Structure 1
Amino acid sequence: MNQTTFYKEFEVFSKRNDASPFTHQFSLTAPNKELAIVMAQENFMRREPVSDIWVVERVHIRPLSSEEKASLQRLDNKAYRNTKGYGYLKKIWSKYEQQILDEKEIMSWQGGRKGE
């Protein structure tokens, strides 16, 4: 059997703990996915602790086409999501709260004078 048809390329991803994201670790060649998982465990998991491992055949990973990449550009106009322009709101809110407290205080004085 030819080596190019017998071996498949796999990409190995792992995460250190349940809260961490998956990161790409390395590529390997193996005849099937079961052996690829065993090889990934032997080559990687014995070196550092991991909570999970993914072994994905490279043919199943597809990059974006140039048309798909171009469609991402239209999604880039999201300036309305940036919160850096709202820093002044805390100052305005405390000024508003102070006005409310002052109005309540003034209203309570007027109520007390009517009862006199």
Structure 2
Amino acid sequence: MAGKEQGFYQVFEVFSRKAPDAPMQHQFSLLAPNEEIALVMAQENFMRREPVADLWVVKRDYIRRMSEDEKAALKRLDNKDYRLTRGYGDLKKRWRKYEQQALDEKEILSWKGEIQR
């Protein structure tokens, strides 16, 4: 079915969001003769299960996919790992270790006598 019509029926993709500020999510695909019937089928099959703030029904042929060349362009050309946040997962542990090694006020004041000698 990959984007082709199946005789009388066409493939539609159904998207919905649960709240007005929620992201749109793909729910399922369905076969229908036209957009109006596809919308009715989506409402009947989906909206009776859970509340929906918005429902989109899109003919699969209208959705453009990236070509393999376009996908290849998405790969990083240079090393920008420093921009990724995964390196900060142990920051709390490292900070605690640093604090334990830091000098406290009492220790610094205890040096007073040794420095004057």
Aligned partner of residue 20 in structure 1, secondary structure: coil
How much does 1:81 deviate? 3.5
Tell me the TM-score normalised to structure 2 length: 0.62
Match in the other structure for 1:16: 18
The one-letter amino acid paired with 2:59 is E
The one-letter amino acid paired with 2:46 is F
Q: Between the two proteins, what is the percent identity of the paired residues?
A: 61
Structure number, greater radius of gyration = 1
Structure-2 change in CA distance of 1:31 and 1:76 (3 Å): farther
Q: CA RMSD in A?
A: 2.3
Structure-2 change in CA distance of 1:15 and 1:76 (3 Å): farther
Separation in 1 of the partners of 2:29 and 2:78? 32
Match in the other structure for 2:45: 43
Aligned partner of residue 48 in structure 1, secondary structure: coil
Unpaired runs of at least 5, structure 2: 92-117
Separation in 1 of the partners of 2:47 and 2:33? 20
The one-letter amino acid paired with 2:27 is Q
How much does 1:61 deviate? 1.6
Separation in 2 of the partners of 1:45 and 1:18? 15
How much does 1:7 deviate? 0.7
Alignment match of 1:25 (pick from 24, 27, 32): 27
How much does 1:75 deviate? 6.3
Q: Which is richer in helix? A: 1
Map 1:74-89; keep pairs closer than 5 Å. 74=76, 77-79=79-81, 81-82=83-84
Task: Show CA shifts across 1:84-114 (max 9, x none).
Answer: 67x8xxxxxxxxxxxxxxxxxxxxxxxxxxx
Separation in 2 of the partners of 1:74 and 1:45? 41
Structure-2 change in CA distance of 1:24 and 1:68 (3 Å): same
Aligned partner of residue 11 in structure 2, secondary structure: strand
Equivalent pairs, count: 85
